[in-house]
Chains A and B, each alone.
Chain A
Amino acid sequence: MSITATLGSRTAAKLMIGTIAGLVAFHQPARAAELAAQDIALLDRLTWGVSASSAAHLREIGTERWLQEQLHPANTALPAAVQKQIEAMPDVHRFPFDIAASFDQQGKSANQVADPEQRKAAQQVYQQAMNDRARQAAARTILHALYAPDQLRERMTWFWFNHFNVHQYKANIRVLVGDYEDRAIRANALGKFRNLLSATLHHPVMLRYLDNADNAAGHLNENYAREIMELHTMGVGAGYTQADVEALARILTGVGIDFKSEDPKLKPEQQSQLVREGAFEFNPARHDFGDKTFLGHQIKGRGLAEVDEALDILCRHPATATHVAKQLATYFVSDNPPAALVQQMAQTFQKTDGDIAAVMSTLVHAPEFAASLKGGAKFKDPMLYVMSSVRLAYDSKVVLNTLPIQGWLNRLSEGLFNHETPDGYSMLSAAWNGPGQMMLRFEIARAIGSGSAGLFKPNEPNAVDQPAFPLVMNGLYFSNIRQTLSPTTLAALDQAVSPQDWNTLFLSSPEFMH
């Protein structure tokens, strides 16, 4: 029996192409065969959008090596021009706790100003400064998304932020939202789920957002406990009860925030229980030391160690593996991910004790994933739509101002740090392809396609707009993208009256929306 008959002719043909490509690559690494349409789709699915340089890199090293590079990134260095922009932001070299503490102080002082007019002015200055910090954090997110070499980790960072969502406009979250993304989320985005969950739980931003900073013995606040189970781990309908919510709320009593430099006053026998790490504080005087029954487990009341025990129970619960796997598959594969794929990912989750890179490896190597790359099954959400537009139009020419991008994301209702409720933004296409949404996308396609749109005018007084032109009809377009367009789209593009008009139409096309 011939190989062709065994494998089927398509597979055999691919194997041959693979071998030939391998041989060519051996002699001429940079000039291997053209990328398959599948590889372009892969880049679109796992990065913030294909660009000419990312396509060239994938072509150079091959698909599997590229996947390994993304799953286990060694090179996470931002381009120098990007790093320079980030370094220029205030506070980037200060300890986040100090920043938050000084903001806290500023807020308190502003409220204490006696004269009402002056108080109002001081409060405005304080609010303005917090807004600035949030905008800078958003700028860093965008710069990472557009230019970081570890693109998959950036996609995962957005995904996990959304999974562990917080809203910037609650209290003073704006000051530390960037630190939350960097230290709690990005650092764990491809690591162990248990560490990720724990890092979000120990971050003041989460404790403020879901009110656990106010949760104390005898004064229970259930908010965070409920959302941990419903959204962060097991998922709603996974079998936990109201009694489990209350038990977890009791376990979490005393877990809170403290910006003061002196320790809280405690009874001598409680002093060894006090835990302070930056703004995080476990205050034993606020903890309910009674025993608890949580998800069928008896938890001995003994302090912060109860939280670790509860997190272990949650992370090892099969419902958590399934819930997380399903969320990931929905984001990276389709609105209705195949059940077999979700199951396989959940198995990996359980086998590896929640190793996210391993779960993602299962996903990207699954036949269901490869199948989903054909035919543009997945509709881009606004973040992916905007990032992929800018990456395609400007590639590695670094934008000098991200405020227009922040504005587009806000207009498209997927602004960074801007989802008010803890469920995060929807990952389903139906949430983003309604008539009103489509109209806004065409407006934004026009903004990006027609000129530099303010992206190259630094956000500082007397700044001059640097020359820049969106180049969508580039080499990548002719070598790869054009072939994937329908005759209808090509016919419309043929009627463009200017390059700007052509860009607008291309970025508005159904193919680019998927």
Chain B
Amino acid sequence: MNRRELIKAFAASASLTLAGRVWAAPATDARLLVVFLRGAYDAANVVVPVGSEFYYASRPTLAVARPDAGNPNAALALDAGWGLHPALRDSIYPLWAKREIAFVPFAGTSDDLSRSHFETQDTIELGQAVGGSRDYRSGFMSRLATELTRVKPISFTDQLPLIFRGQNQIPNIGIASVSKPGVDDRQARLIREMYAKGDLANSVSEGFRVRDDVYKSVSEEMMAANRGAVSPRGFELSARRIGRLMREQFNLGFVDVGGWDTHVNQGAATGYLADRLGELGRGLAGFSEEIGPAMWRDTVVVVISEFGRTFRENGDRGTDHGHGSVYWVMGGGINGGRMAGEQVQVAQATLFQNRDFPVLTDYKAFFAGLIQHVYGLQQASLERIFTGIKPKDLNLV
């Protein structure tokens, strides 16, 4: 099915779409993928403040060297103040050269200072005010989906994450382990009938529909692999599958990647964190390749994490829980190749609580500004997604 037919199919089949609001139609057939790095990645060692003496003084064993063409372990120059971790040389750095990626330093939760992974992940996924009672049945991407027409949301996770919980049942699929369904069509029909009147009816019917769609897509890849093609593994495999599924079927996606909680021996230019980064970078590059040049122009990928880590390294060549992080925004139509948003000099005097990066760009204002441009959403829609938030325009889209 080509793209035009696909769009027609979306429009024709109400069951393929969530009930949207006509006044908030997406301006284009934009694709949005949010990638959540769970565990609070050490942003300061990925988008490295190479212009800061204080960085090198604070990290005697962890620092990544200043850009140096002769040193393969040196940071890759971004601008005068910042460099990129060398593990991203072949995957993400080319996007910077093409101005298809921007980094937003000093980003995070301005209202959640708990430094708890789980608390702050919840805060971000819910996108609600901190302090009042939380509604755990209302994640912000679910609210976004409700505001859009022709939206086909999906969570590429084993479980339905908080960010996608809400009034509409959004499908989830553990993308790394798709296998041939054993429950046949007749059993599927009988099972659907058993659930038809209960509160899991949508979950079950969405499940069977997505199961078949995804298996069809993945089985083509498996056939290719059987013919000797090298199959990627880990996040790279997942991200490539996500790229194909978002090219063909889904336009609003979420995926999370764990393993970033580096209290001990996180490594510098090489080592544990570098390995995780390399895999992440290859995955994201693989995603852009699979979604294809045409669709990549209409695609925005946002990489976030719950918080940053302590700016100084701890006693175990690792870092503890901090505050401000660096978000990534990628896509073919991105105003990239630059550091976006408010910035301060990286120095002891500008640390938050003399400990970690401050938050100058709040995640809610950031997302509100971004989705406003991606989808042309009106203020009333934005207000329903992030109540009481003034969108911050970082001129990314």
A491 at the interface (CB under 8 A from B): yes
B23 at the interface (CB under 8 A from A): no
- Enumerate B307-330 residues with CB–CB distance to A below 8 Å: 314-316, 318, 320-321
**Given A211-B263, A236-B114, A439-B211, A220:B314 Cβ within 8 A:** yes
Complex Cα spacing A223 to B310, Å: 12
CB <8 Å contact, A214 and B183 = no
CB <8 Å contact, A430 and B182 = no
Which one of A109-117, A197-205, A464-472, A501-509 is at the interface? A501-509
Distance in Å: Cβ of B54 to nearest Cβ of chain A:
20
Complex Cα spacing A420 to B38, Å: 11
**Which residues on A sit within 8 Å (CB–CB) of B263?**
211, 214, 221-223
Among B114, B194, B258, B316, contact of A221 (Cβ-Cβ < 8 Å)? B316
- The 16 listed contacts between A and B (C-beta, < 8 Å) are A221-B314, A226-B321, A230-B116, A230-B118, A236-B118, A236-B119, A413-B174, A420-B258, A434-B160, A435-B206, A436-B158, A436-B207, A437-B172, A443-B183, A488-B197, A492-B194
Which one of B24-32, B83-91, B185-193 is at the interface? B185-193
**Which residues on B sit within 8 Å (CB–CB) of A18?**
none
A261 at the interface (CB under 8 A from B): no
User: When each residue 21-63 of chain B gets 1 if its CB lies under 8 Å from chain A and 0 otherwise, what string results?
Assistant: 0000000000000000011000000000000000000000000
CB <8 Å contact, B258 and A508 = no
Q: Which residue of A lies closest to B180 (CB)?
A: A443
Interface size class of A (residues with CB under 8 A): 35 or more
Among B38, B188, B197, B206, contact of A421 (Cβ-Cβ < 8 Å)? B38
Among A237, A413, A421, A492, contact of B191 (Cβ-Cβ < 8 Å)? A492
CB <8 Å contact, B194 and A505 = yes
Known pairs A434-B203, A505-B194, A508-B191; list 4 more (Cβ under 8 Å). A218-B315, A435-B204, A492-B191, A504-B183
Complex Cα spacing A215 to B314, Å: 10
Distance in Å: Cβ of B395 to nearest Cβ of chain A:
35
Q: Which residue of B lies closest to A217 (CB)?
A: B315
Among B116, B165, B182, B321, contact of A443 (Cβ-Cβ < 8 Å)? B182
Distance in Å: Cβ of A163 to nearest Cβ of chain B:
13
Complex Cα spacing A434 to B165, Å: 9
Q: Which residue of A lies closest to B195 (CB)?
A: A510
**Given A223-B320, A226-B115, A488:B172 Cβ within 8 A:** no
Complex Cα spacing A434 to B174, Å: 11
**Which residues on B sit within 8 Å (CB–CB) of A462?**
none
B169 at the interface (CB under 8 A from A): yes
**Given A230-B116, A421-B117, A438:B200 Cβ within 8 A:** yes
**Which residues on A sit within 8 Å (CB–CB) of B177?**
411
- Enumerate B163-219 residues with CB–CB distance to A below 8 Å: 165, 169, 171-174, 177, 181-183, 187-188, 190-191, 193-198, 200, 203-204, 206-208, 210-211
- Enumerate A231-263 residues with CB–CB distance to B below 8 Å: 236-237, 242
CB <8 Å contact, A438 and B315 = no
B72 at the interface (CB under 8 A from A): no
Q: How many A-B residue pairs have CB under 8 A?
A: 152
Q: Which residue of B lies closest to A509 (CB)?
A: B194
CB <8 Å contact, B316 and A489 = no
**Which residues on B sit within 8 Å (CB–CB) of A223?**
261, 263, 320
A143 at the interface (CB under 8 A from B): no
Interface residue total, chain B, C-beta cutoff 8 A: 56
**Which residues on A sit within 8 Å (CB–CB) of B117?**
421, 423
A180 at the interface (CB under 8 A from B): no
Q: Which residue of A lies closest to B201 (CB)?
A: A510
Complex Cα spacing A430 to B169, Å: 11
CB <8 Å contact, B264 and A438 = no
CB <8 Å contact, B320 and A433 = no
Complex Cα spacing A411 to B200, Å: 20
Q: Which residue of B lies closest to A440 (CB)?
A: B174
**Which residues on B sit within 8 Å (CB–CB) of A339?**
none
Complex Cα spacing A219 to B60, Å: 14
**Given A421-B258, A436-B171, A446:B182 Cβ within 8 A:** yes
Complex Cα spacing A514 to B326, Å: 42
User: When each residue 93-134 of chain B gets 1 if its CB lies under 8 Å from chain A and 0 otherwise, what string results?
Assistant: 000000000000000000000111111000000000000000
CB <8 Å contact, A446 and B38 = no
Q: Which residue of A lies closest to B113 (CB)?
A: A242
**Given A433-B203, A434-B159, A443:B196 Cβ within 8 A:** no
CB <8 Å contact, B318 and A221 = yes
CB <8 Å contact, A491 and B193 = yes
- Enumerate A374-406 residues with CB–CB distance to B below 8 Å: none
Q: Which residue of B lies closest to A510 (CB)?
A: B198
Distance in Å: Cβ of B60 to nearest Cβ of chain A:
12
**Which residues on B sit within 8 Å (CB–CB) of A447?**
182
B259 at the interface (CB under 8 A from A): yes
B3 at the interface (CB under 8 A from A): no
Which 9 pairs from chain A and chain B are nearest by CB? A219-B315, A434-B160, A435-B207, A413-B158, A436-B172, A214-B316, A435-B171, A435-B206, A223-B263
Distance in Å: Cβ of A58 to nearest Cβ of chain B:
28
B378 at the interface (CB under 8 A from A): no
**Which residues on A sit within 8 Å (CB–CB) of B172?**
434-437
CB <8 Å contact, B203 and A413 = no
B353 at the interface (CB under 8 A from A): yes
**Which residues on B sit within 8 Å (CB–CB) of A435?**
160, 169, 171-173, 203-204, 206-207, 210
